[in-house]
């Protein structure tokens, strides 16, 4: 296979600064949303654990796992397809194609979502019997019947938000999904449970933000389309026919749809298998243990979402070296943000799990296993996003097929013998496979490599500061809240010194300057508006 055509030998300082600034602005906004969403997600699990216990929360989470697998499968990969096609259409001055692209992407999603919803409604009792481990069957069946009509709505919700990201903005995703959907779910679920409304209304309370979010997403998408047309005028390029748009869109997206099913399967199938082989109680403990790492996984997803349309646009314009630079910057930021928290969570896992209820401390070993594998995953950066935006959706599909197969086979082998620790080992192995395969592909065939100076320095500092100091504090003071507070103060202080020392390697000065310029620009615009009125 021939190597991709390279752009300039090295990005200029101006282009590198512009790329880092764009990545930083979108990443910062999304990071704020991610922090909020992760906190809300932890709160939701605390509500479930404290009010329903391990068994009750496990039944609910097994249902949510089934729902999420079907909802994501129902998107047919159109969320990623819309990001790619919308961003390419805009970068190539084909804005008139946006409407047909949206129709081509969203109509099949709606149709398949309805099919899945009907199947869940009709098969609720069968699914409950298969994945309940002989316990809580009635509750799981009730949950599934309530959630069935929400399946097509959620599939469309995910696809519409993907389309908004094609306009190189994370604002709709941050506001609608991170703050709106994630923030409202724990409150609504708490109200439903404390009001003793029953399983059906608890499920409805959890799912209702998707309905509201879809409406908000559609309105926001139309506003983005109109704003772009007003700011850039009509397209000047020759447009593709509808048939060509269909072929181009689905030739890329259909392999991605299979990959999306595999990917969501890797994220949730272990909870379903634990519930089926063991019990909803064990599934609840395992699910809470895995979601303790949710913040780091959200950060990884948020940086990937910001980089995704940038990769698409830069590659479409032939800027190979600039793409490589963005990839390395994103990886450096990802390692710098996620490795400290993974290490802290692993070292103080018993203390943190006790917040959800005393039963959940049984998942401490699970947290340690998963934290280690998550660190390795972060080290690859947004590698699958890069592979996809390079047009290699078939490669991505193959990678996720191998990943899911690894996950399921190891779960079936290890869970009967090792319990939830076996499920953790299976997840860890599949995550390593999920990152190693695309990492080899983008390195060998596309000539992209994730680690620059920023990632190298951040990894060493994280292990020495958050790992070394954490183990020392735990050895001296144990796993108490006082010990954790002392550890956090010492480690964070030392890490800030490191960030200042290696700020250039991490491209932090350019990111900070972009925020200041944006703030000054916003202030000037507001002042001008006040003078005009």
Q: How many residues does the chain have?
A: 533
The pLDDT tens digits of the residues spanning 81-116 come to: 898 888 888 877 777 788 889 999 999 999 999 999
Instruction: Give the confidence band of 303 by pLDDT, cuts at 50, 70, 90.
Output: low
Burial (CB count <10 Å: 0-12, 13-18, 19+), residue 3: exposed
**Three-state DSSP state, 80:** helix
The ranges assigned to domains in the chain are 13-518
d(CA 425, CA 216): 40
Tokens for 238? 């020759």
pLDDT at 520: 44
Q: How far is CA 153 from the centre of its chain?
A: 19
DSSP structure class, residue 195: T
Closest-CA residue to 63 (of 162, 178, 189, 230)? 189
Instruction: Give the confidence band of 11 by pLDDT, cuts at 50, 70, 90.
Output: low
Most confident of 249-253, 282-286, 287-291: 282-286
The pLDDT tens digits of the residues spanning 481-523 come to: 999 999 999 999 999 998 888 777 776 665 555 545 544 444 4
Closest-CA residue to 258 (of 151, 399, 432)? 399
User: Which carries the bigger pLDDT value, residue 77 or residue 181?
Assistant: 181
pLDDT at 195: 87
290 pLDDT more than 50: yes
Alpha carbon dihedral 159, 397, 334, 474, in 10-degree steps, equals 110
475 pLDDT more than 50: yes
pTM for this entry: 0.74
Longest dimension (CA), the chain: 73
Closest-CA residue to 98 (of 239, 238, 231)? 239
Distances from the Cα of 430 to the Cα of 23, 152, 257, 411, angstroms: 29, 29, 19, 10
Q: Are 515 and 24 in contact (CB under 8 A)?
A: yes
Instruction: Report the Cα–Cα distance between both ends of the chain, in Å, rounded.
Output: 61
Question: Residue 478 half-sphere exposure, CB side, CA atoms within 13 Å?
Answer: 3
pLDDT (average), residues 248-267 = 79
The pLDDT tens digits of the residues spanning 444-459 come to: 877 888 888 888 888 9
CA Rg value for the chain:
23
Burial (CB count <10 Å: 0-12, 13-18, 19+), residue 5: exposed
Distances from the Cα of 219 to the Cα of 107, 212, 228, 336, angstroms: 17, 11, 14, 36
The Cβ of residue 239 has, within 10 Å, a number of other Cβ atoms equal to 14
Tokens for 151? 């399946």
The Cβ of residue 289 has, within 10 Å, a number of other Cβ atoms equal to 28
Q: Are 214 and 164 in contact (CB under 8 A)?
A: no
176 pLDDT more than 90: yes
């Amino acid at each position: 296979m021939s190597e991709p055509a390279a752009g300039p030998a090295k990005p200029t300082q101006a282009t590198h600064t512009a790329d880092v600034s764009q990545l930083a602005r979108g990443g910062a906004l999304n990071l704020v949303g991610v922090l909020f969403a992760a906190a809300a997600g932890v709160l939701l699990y605390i509500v479930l654990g404290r009010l329903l216990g391990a068994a009750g929360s496990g039944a609910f989470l097994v249902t949510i796992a089934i729902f999420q697998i079907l909802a994501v499968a129902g998107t047919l990969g159109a969320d990623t397809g819309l990001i790619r096609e919308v961003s390419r259409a805009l970068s190539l001055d084909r804005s008139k194609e946006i409407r047909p692209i949206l129709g081509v992407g969203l109509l099949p999603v709606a149709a398949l979502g309805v099919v899945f919803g009907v199947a869940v409604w009709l098969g609720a009792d069968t699914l409950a019997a298969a994945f309940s481990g002989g316990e809580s069957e009635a509750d799981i069946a009730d949950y599934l019947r309530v959630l069935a009509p929400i399946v097509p709505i959620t599939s469309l919700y995910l696809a519409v938000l993907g389309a908004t990201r094609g306009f190189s903005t994370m604002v709709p995703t941050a506001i609608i999904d991170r703050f709106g959907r994630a923030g409202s779910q724990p409150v609504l679920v708490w109200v439903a449970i404390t009001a003793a409304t029953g399983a059906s209304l608890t499920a409805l309370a959890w799912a209702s933000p998707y309905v509201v979010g879809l409406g908000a997403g559609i309105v926001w998408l139309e506003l983005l389309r109109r704003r772009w047309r007003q700011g850039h005028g009509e397209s000047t390029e020759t447009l593709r026919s509808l048939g060509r748009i269909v072929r181009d869109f689905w030739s890329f997206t259909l392999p991605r749809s299979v990959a999306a099913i595999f990917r969501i399967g890797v994220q949730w199938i272990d909870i379903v298998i634990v519930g089926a082989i063991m019990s909803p109680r064990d599934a609840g403990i395992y699910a809470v243990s895995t979601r303790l790492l949710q913040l780091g996984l959200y950060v990884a997803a948020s940086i990937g979402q910001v980089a995704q349309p940038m990769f698409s646009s830069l590659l479409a314009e032939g800027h190979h070296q600039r793409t490589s630079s963005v990839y390395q910057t994103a990886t450096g930021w990802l390692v710098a943000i996620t490795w400290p928290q993974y290490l802290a969570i692993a070292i103080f896992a018993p203390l943190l799990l006790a917040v959800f209820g005393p039963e959940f401390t049984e998942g401490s070993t699970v947290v340690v296993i998963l934290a280690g594998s998550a660190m390795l995953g972060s080290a690859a950066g947004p590698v699958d996003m890069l592979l996809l935006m390079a047009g290699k959706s078939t490669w991505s599909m193959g990678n996720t097929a191998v990943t899911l197969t690894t996950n399921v086979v190891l779960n079936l082998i290890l869970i009967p013998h090792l319990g939830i620790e076996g499920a953790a080992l299976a997840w860890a192995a599949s995550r390593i496979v999920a990152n190693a395969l695309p990492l080899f592909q983008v390195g060998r065939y596309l000539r992209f490599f994730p680690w620059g100076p920023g990632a190298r320095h951040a990894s060493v500092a994280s292990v020495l500061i958050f790992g070394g100091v954490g183990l020392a504090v735990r050895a001296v003071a144990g796993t108490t809240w006082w010990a954790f507070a002392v550890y956090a103060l010492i480690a964070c202080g030392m890490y800030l010194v490191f960030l200042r020392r290696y700020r250039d390697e991490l491209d932090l000065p350019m990111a900070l300057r972009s925020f200041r310029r944006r703030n000054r620009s916003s202030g000037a615009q507001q002042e001008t508006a006040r003078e005009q009125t």
